[in-house]
A and B are shown apart, each in its own frame.
Chain A
Amino acid sequence: MHEWALAEAVARTVEELVLSGRDVKHVEVVLGELQAVDEEVFRVALEELLSSLRAEKGVSVGGFTITREKALFKCNVCGHTWSLDEWGVAEEFREAIHFVPEAVHSYYSCPKCGSRDFEIVKGRGVQVRVR
């Protein structure tokens, strides 16, 4: 599943950092609202991947937390900003946006002026921060 691929990407990033000599105390994974990642599935996958990293390669990190970020959009034409609720993303488009958040530009436009030339300011997809 896709959550697994995302967790794999996070685990690999951590692995590379640790192997390059960096001490990773904490990993914060931010799940953007737009991509609609299933938090529980993602958490289980990441736990499993990190524990096999520990077992197989001796790579360990202090711990990780998952936080969520609301999506925010800004129109490049009229300047309007809005949240995901203003669209109410239809079920049929969710899967496409789940895999490639940019696909949202094909399905939705600025609620105020109707332009598709807008920016995803926040809450696009997965972000990783380490301390």
Chain B
Amino acid sequence: MELDFRAPLIRERLSSIKLVVPVASPKGGVGKTTIASALSVLLARSGVKTGVLDLDFTNPTTHIMLGVDTASAMPEEEKGVLPVRVEENLELMGLAFYTRDRPLPLRGHSVVDALREVLAITRWSSTVLVVDSPPGLSDALLEMLRLARGSRVLVVSACDKLSLVSTKRILEFLEHEGVAVLGVVANMCKDCRGLEEALGVKPLDCVPRFEQLREGDRDRLAELFSGTLAGVLGRVREALD
């Protein structure tokens, strides 16, 4: 009998984390990485020990948004590896540290292998794990949901018609699979009425398009989003109680 020896270790590594929040989006370009990064910085700065996993293996960008230089930072080896400390209460792990921003073409089963490997080696010290997922119902997201049962997915959607149709599909899938949804965030949005109508849910937060956003500037990120992600932060706190 051949076994996937990583499964028990993954369970143990994730057991100290109280809440896993995969941030998912129906399609690319809706600002999922921005929302995931802003959420993690705000959580960390409000005193919650927060980990960020960049699950977009073939196109990781979370480190850029969080201002982490993969040329100089590297997860430290200690009976596994420790995620890179971004600031107090905020740690980051992802394949960008290993690929050094080179392209990483992976087919489905390799994505799953890489995810299992990363989860088996990473020793988080966080209470909340924010997972920046690739767009859509990807292999990586499906595997993450399988490995971290009890996850609460935050869905990021734009308000145009194409996004809404895709968002509806994601919500239907999650409901069918019995996966809890933390809520929906409307991003780069002027008016959420269309979203409410199309999805039948009120978004947790309606985030406008911020032209002043600069990648890597966490202070600016925290400042811009401090007033706009209140609904999501409230839900995370509720889930932690």
Segment from A55-63, A64-72, A83-91, A99-107 that makes contact with B: A99-107
User: B residues within 8 A CB of A106?
Assistant: 98-100, 102-104
Q: Are B106 and A9 in contact (CB under 8 A)?
A: no
Q: Give B101-131 as 1s and 0s: 1 = Cβ < 8 Å from A's Cβ atoms.
A: 0111111001001100110110000000000
Which of B26-34, B76-84, B214-222 lies at the interface with chain A? B76-84
A54 at the interface (CB under 8 A from B): no
Q: A125 in the interface, Cβ–Cβ < 8 Å? A: yes
B97 — nearest CB in chain A belongs to which residue?
Answer: A96
Residues of chain B at interface, number, CB under 8 A:
34
A16, B104: Cβ atoms closer than 8 Å:
no
Say whether A130 faces chain B, with CB atoms less than 8 Å apart: yes
Given contacts A100-B117, A120-B110, A125-B117, contact A9 B95 (CB under 8 A): no
How would residues 91 to 128 of chain A score, 1 for a CB under 8 Å from any chain B CB and 0 otherwise?
00000110111110111000000001101100011111
Q: A105-B105, A125-B117 are in contact. Are A4 and B80 (CB under 8 A)?
A: yes
Known: A4-B79, A96-B99, A129-B3. A105 touches B110 (CB 8 A): yes
Contact bitstring A1-45, B, C-beta under 8 A = 1, else 0:
110110011101101110000000000000000000000000000
Contact flag A12-B1 (CB < 8 Å), given A5-B120, A120-B110: no
CA distance A129 to B2 in the complex (A): 4
Residues on B with beta carbons closer than 8 Å to the beta carbon of A128: 2-3, 5
A9–B100 CA distance with the chains assembled, in angstroms: 27
* Cβ contact within 8 Å between B110 and A12: no
Whether, in the assembled complex, B73 has its beta carbon less than 8 Å from a beta carbon of chain A, the answer is no
Please list 27 pairs of residues, one from A and one from B, whose beta carbons are closer than 8 Å in the complex, sorted by A's number.
Answer: A4-B79, A5-B121, A9-B6, A9-B120, A12-B8, A12-B9, A12-B12, A13-B3, A13-B5, A17-B3, A76-B107, A99-B121, A100-B98, A101-B117, A102-B57, A102-B114, A103-B95, A103-B99, A107-B102, A116-B105, A117-B107, A127-B2, A127-B5, A128-B2, A128-B3, A130-B1, A130-B3
Q: Given A1-B79, A15-B8, 18 more contacts at CB 8 Å?
A: A2-B121, A5-B79, A9-B6, A9-B120, A12-B12, A16-B8, A96-B99, A99-B75, A99-B121, A100-B117, A102-B104, A105-B105, A106-B100, A106-B102, A107-B102, A120-B110, A128-B3, A129-B2
